[in-house]
């Protein structure tokens, strides 16, 4: 009797485990499907695409779509592929990430180790910048960039990304530094270390993990940005997201889906690589950047 | 170099240094402070001013009161955009939460290869909505996409052309957005589950509670803060959704998949209706605040009590 119930509960258990794995793997297929489709399509010829279907294997693997996407595909009026736009994005991302991260570190340092009357309020006000829908600043910024002569320049986009990335980077560093004992700073002060000495010699050397998180977060955000890119960049200065969109949604000519997919992978590769290489930090950035104040 | 006037000089230098040390932190923050005042708060006020003018192609400062807001609510396209946000946001948030919590609970059952599965669920979050939208636009392509896959399986009359159907296109946005963001929600819930004290669950098990009952009565209720955080983030993503629409449907067919964000862009930058665009931006800000303020209020009150 007892044995029988034990036996049947074990069977149930096995069925349950089976079901759990089935659901999890089905979900995994759902998440993987678009990537698989993108990769397969990018290696097909157009004839192959028309005769097969999304998940059919390419009859032969060809790299034509990739080289076309990189160097000759038409994005709007220009037909030079996405290469130039890829480097535009790099030129925007690198300075914007470095500067906003550095400013975030300095701000976070002041907000935790050099508090003054009103600094908490100031931090709260700055935090609000993480939440505003950027539509509410788009028009004035367009005017300002025009006045400064930065409209449609890479420098203009770098500037915009620094301005609106700073709330996040400050949040990251502030939340990290707040857990570092104030005694460390006090002791250094007694030894005669000044404001910047403490920052350079004591806080920065232990900031490795949060620097990585911030850089990954900012890189992903800025690389993936479309709104600022489409509003403040034009022609030669557009980032790759805008170029990809122009390529895919152009109304003229035959739609070359294999080229579209290759271009999409090129546009997604850098952030995907960051995720694969530093996934742990990527997730930490996501959760740190979410809501916690 | 009189030895006797040295101490005084040092004292003076020290005084200067102390002054510097006292003001340095504020001076370091000053640029951020100014940038924040100008680029966040100043610009919000600027947009508010623009929303009350008759600006069209260029900003003008002829005050027209709330006329643009009145126009907005008589504008069919805006009403469609708001309705769409309701449908898209509601479904997107609901499905993400259900899917996220389900996958997290299942993944928390001591699953082999958990790390690999988690990586697969989460990678879409690393991609931009433009890339995501491009991929889904292709998969949903009527004639060549999923429709053809099913037809090739032998279901000749199968049709799946939602993306070009004005009544259904908005749901295709939900599919792609859920694909992009649900893994992140899963990660949040998984972190929440891992934070629950095991001894509570063991105690319940000793009392004879079944696993589903433990989840329903103990675990899910204790995940309430995660639900709230996820809700805030997802609604924020929904209100700001612009790239996904641009990549997948361009707001079409017609303007059937317009959202407030695409409405704002179209009117401000391609249709030369800056006043109207500014008004729509202000309402978007209002939407975010309507969700954010109660949340922050409860958070702050909670932390004061706890």
DSSP characters over chain A:
-HHHHHHHHHHHHHHHHHHHHHHHHHHHHHHHHHHHHHHHHHTS-HHHHHHS-TTSPPSS---HHHHHHHHT--BTTB-S-SHHHHHHHHHHHHHHHHHHHHHHHHHHHHHHHS--TTHHHHHHHHHGGGTS-THHHHHHHHHHHHHHT-TTSHHHHHHHHHHHHHHHHHHHHHHHHTTS-HHHHHHHHHTT--HHHHIIIIIGGG-HHHHHHHHHHHHHHHHH--HHHHHH--GGG--HHHHHHHHHT--SS---HHHHHHHHHHHHHHHHHHHHHHHHHHHHHHHHTTS--
> Out of B24, B120, B134, whose CB is closest to A28?
B120
Q: Please name the residues in contact with A216: beta carbons below 8 A apart, sequence gap of 6 or more.
A: A274, A278, A281, A282, A285
Distances (CA, A) of A237 to A37, A232, B60: 30, 9, 28
Structure tokens at B83: 């309705």
Q: Say what the pLDDT of residue B5 is.
A: 47
At B55, is the secondary structure helix, strand, or coil? coil
Distance of residue A125 Cα from the nearest chain B Cα, in angstroms? 8
Structure tokens at B155: 């279901």
Residue B36: closest CA among chain A residues belongs to which residue? Answer: A126
Q: Say what the pLDDT of residue B60 is.
A: 79
A228 touches chain B (CB under 8 A): no
- Is the Cβ pair A34, B136 closer than 8 Å? yes
Predicted confidence (pLDDT) at residue A248 exceeds the cutoff of 60: yes
Predicted confidence (pLDDT) at residue A293 exceeds the cutoff of 60: no
Predicted confidence (pLDDT) at residue A2 exceeds the cutoff of 80: no
Predicted confidence (pLDDT) at residue A292 exceeds the cutoff of 60: no
The most confident of the ranges A102-106, A190-194, A199-203, B150-154 is A102-106
Interhelix angle A64-71/A2-42, nearest 10 degrees: 60
pTM: 0.90
> Out of B47, B130, B247, whose CB is closest to A137?
B47
> Out of A41, A139, A230, whose CB is closest to B50?
A139
- Asked if B170 contacts B238 with a C-beta cutoff of 8 angstroms, the reply is no
Predicted confidence (pLDDT) at residue A127 exceeds the cutoff of 60: yes
- Is the Cβ pair A38, B25 closer than 8 Å? no
> Out of B17, B21, B29, whose CB is closest to A107?
B29
- Asked if B94 contacts B102 with a C-beta cutoff of 8 angstroms, the reply is no
- Is the Cβ pair A49, B144 closer than 8 Å? yes
- Is the Cβ pair B130, A170 closer than 8 Å? no
Q: Say what the pLDDT of residue B302 is.
A: 63
The ipTM is: 0.89
A272 touches chain B (CB under 8 A): yes
Q: Which residues of chain A have a CB within 8 Å of the CB of B24?
A: 114, 194-196
A279 touches chain B (CB under 8 A): yes
Q: Say what the pLDDT of residue A4 is.
A: 61
Q: Say what the pLDDT of residue B306 is.
A: 38
Residue A259: Cβ within 10 Å count: 26
Q: Report d(CA B87, CA B257) in Å as an integer.
A: 10
| Cis, peptide link before residue B253, omega less than 30° from 0 | yes
Q: Say what the pLDDT of residue B22 is.
A: 79
Measuring CA to CA, which residue among A61, A68, A63 is closest to residue A83? A68
DSSP A266-289: HHHHHHHHHHHHHHHHHHHHHHHT
Distance of residue A105 Cα from the nearest chain B Cα, in angstroms? 11
Q: Say what the pLDDT of residue B297 is.
A: 81
Q: Report d(CA B103, CA A192) in Å as an integer.
A: 54
- Is the Cβ pair B246, A33 closer than 8 Å? no
- Is the Cβ pair A261, B29 closer than 8 Å? no
User: What residues in chain B have per-residue pLDDT under 70?
Assistant: 1-15, 302-306
> Out of A27, A136, A231, whose CB is closest to B282?
A136
Q: Say what the pLDDT of residue B75 is.
A: 93
Residue-wise pLDDT for A47-82, tens only, equals: 888 888 888 888 888 888 899 889 888 887 788 888
Q: Report d(CA B306, CA B300) in Å as an integer.
A: 10
């Amino acid at each position: 009797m007892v044995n029988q119930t034990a036996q049947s509960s074990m069977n149930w258990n096995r069925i349950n485990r089976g079901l759990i794995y089935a659901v999890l793997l089905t979900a995994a297929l759902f998440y993987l499907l678009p990537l698989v489709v993108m990769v397969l399509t990018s290696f097909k010829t157009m004839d192959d695409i028309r005769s097969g279907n999304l998940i059919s294997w390419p009859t032969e693997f060809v790299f034509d779509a990739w080289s076309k996407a990189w160097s000759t595909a038409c994005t709007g009026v220009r037909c030079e592929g996405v290469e130039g736009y890829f480097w535009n994005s790099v030129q925007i991302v690198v300075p914007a990430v470095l500067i906003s991260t550095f400013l975030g570190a300095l701000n976070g340092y002041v907000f935790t180790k050099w508090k003054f009357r009103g600094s908490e309020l100031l931090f709260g006000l700055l935090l609000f910048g993480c939440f505003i829908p950027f539509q509410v600043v788009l028009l004035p910024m367009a005017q300002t960039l025009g006045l400064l002569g930065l409209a449609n320049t890479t420098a203009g986009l770098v500037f915009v990304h620094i301005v609106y990335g700073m709330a996040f980077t400050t949040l990251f560093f502030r939340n990290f530094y707040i857990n570092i004992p104030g005694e460390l700073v006090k002791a250094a002060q007694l030894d005669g270390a000044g404001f910047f000495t403490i920052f350079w010699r004591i806080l920065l050397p232990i900031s490795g993990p949060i620097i990585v998180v911030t850089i990954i977060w900012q890189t992903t955000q800025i690389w993936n940005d479309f709104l600022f890119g489409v509003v403040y960049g034009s022609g030669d200065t557009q980032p790759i997201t805008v170029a990809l969109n122009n390529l895919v949604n152009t109304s003229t000519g035959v739609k070359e889906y294999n080229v579209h997919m290759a271009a999409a992978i090129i546009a997604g590769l850098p952030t995907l690589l960051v995720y694969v290489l530093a996934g742990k930090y990527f997730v930490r950035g996501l959760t740190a950047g979410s809501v916690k104040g | 170099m009189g030895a006797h006037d040295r101490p005084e000089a040092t004292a003076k230098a020290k005084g200067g240094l102390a002054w510097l040390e006292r003001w340095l932190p504020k001076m370091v923050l000053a640029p951020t402070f100014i940038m924040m005042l100008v680029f966040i708060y100043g610009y919000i006020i600027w947009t508010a001013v623009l929303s009350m003018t008759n600006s069209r192609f260029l900003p003008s400062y002829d005050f027209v009161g709330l006329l643009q807001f009145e126009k907005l609510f008589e504008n069919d396209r805006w009403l469609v955009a708001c309705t769409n946000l309701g449908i898209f946001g509601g479904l997107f948030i609901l499905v993400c939460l259900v899917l996220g919590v389900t996958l997290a609970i299942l993944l928390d059952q001591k699953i082999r290869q958990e790390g690999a599965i988690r990586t697969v669920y989460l990678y879409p979050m690393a991609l931009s909505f433009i890339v995501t939208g491009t991929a889904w636009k292709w998969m949903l392509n009527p004639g060549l996409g999923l429709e053809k896959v099913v037809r090739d399986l032998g279901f000749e009359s199968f049709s799946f052309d939602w993306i070009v159907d004005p009544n259904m296109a908005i749901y295709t946005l939900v599919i792609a957005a859920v694909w992009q963001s649900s893994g992140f929600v899963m990660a949040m819930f998984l972190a929440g589950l891992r934070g629950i004290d095991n001894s509570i669950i063991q105690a319940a098990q000793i009392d004879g509670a079944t696993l589903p009952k433990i989840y329903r009565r103990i675990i899910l209720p204790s995940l309430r803060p995660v639900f709230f955080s996820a809700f805030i983030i997802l609604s924020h993503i929904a209100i700001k959704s612009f790239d996904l629409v641009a990549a997948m449907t361009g707001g079409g067919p017609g303007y059937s998949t317009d959202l407030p964000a695409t409405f704002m862009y179209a009117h401000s930058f391609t249709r030369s209706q800056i006043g109207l665009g500014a008004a729509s931006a202000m309402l978007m800000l209002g939407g975010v605040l309507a969700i954010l303020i109660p949340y922050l209020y409860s958070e702050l009150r909670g932390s004061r009590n706890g």
